[in-house]
Amino acid sequence: MKEKDNDKKAHYIDNKEFFKAMSEWKLLVIEANDMGEPRPPISTYIGVCFMKIAEHLSFKANFTNYPYKEEMIGDAIENCIMYAHNFDPDKSKNPFSYFTQITYYAFLRRIEKEKKQSYIKFKLLEQQEDVIIQKWYRTNYFEKSDNDMGVQDAMKDAFQVNDTDITKFTPKNKKKTRKKTGKLDQFMDKKDNDTDENSTD
């Protein structure tokens, strides 16, 4: 009896009903395409399924502690609606798995985006040369006393960035060298050399 209860909790969406609804909607999509009409909106039931998938996945251990969970859920639902027409009932009878995967990657993209924004905020404040400003932020915004941690550590803590994030988002310095392959390059180089030789102090 306990196993059945757990099974019901795990399968909070009836995959057969979900598949049926997606199949019926997909037929409407095909008909609309054939007639040159706009794609029909998804049904309320399909929309509820998308919302349940996103909300339940957000409670998984690897997603539960992010402060922007609402944005993650919103992105996931939007992505599911955007790509719903790509679901092919002839190739898969498991829409639950299909849209869970879309939701999963939507979450990852949002996390990546938010981490990059946090890194930018961290770097902007870190580059402030005025120590007084940093201390003010530390006291009032970061809520850390002078004895708790250094300014940089307080900023990392407040913006939720770690050393891995900093390394990942720090732009790589690449030396740009101009390739000299054409006659114009040779002419410009010769002109520069002639100017240097003819110049006087």
pLDDT tens-digit map of 4-50: 544 444 468 999 999 999 999 999 999 999 999 999 999 999 999 99
Q: Where are the domains of the chain?
A: 2-114, 128-171
Tell me the backbone φ, ψ of residue 2, rounded to 5 degrees. -65, -40
pLDDT tens-digit map of 103-125: 999 999 999 999 898 888 878 77
Confidence of residue 198 (pLDDT cuts 50, 70, 90): low
Residue 64: predicted pLDDT: 86
Cα distance between residue 39 and residue 165, in whole Å: 41
CB 56 within 8 A of CB 12: yes
- pTM score, two decimals? 0.69
Residue 88: predicted pLDDT: 96
pLDDT(180) > 60: no
Mean pLDDT for the chain overall: 80
Residue 139: predicted pLDDT: 65
Residue 182: predicted pLDDT: 55
3-state secondary structure 126-151: HCCCCHHHHHHHHHHHCCCCCCCCCH
What would you report as the CA-atom Rg of the chain, rounded to the nearest whole angstrom? 28
3-state secondary structure 89-118: CCCCCCHHHHHHHHHHHHHHHHHHHHHHHH
CB 142 within 8 A of CB 157: yes
Alpha helices (H) along the chain: 2-10, 15-34, 44-57, 69-83, 95-126, 131-136, 151-159, 163-169, 183-198
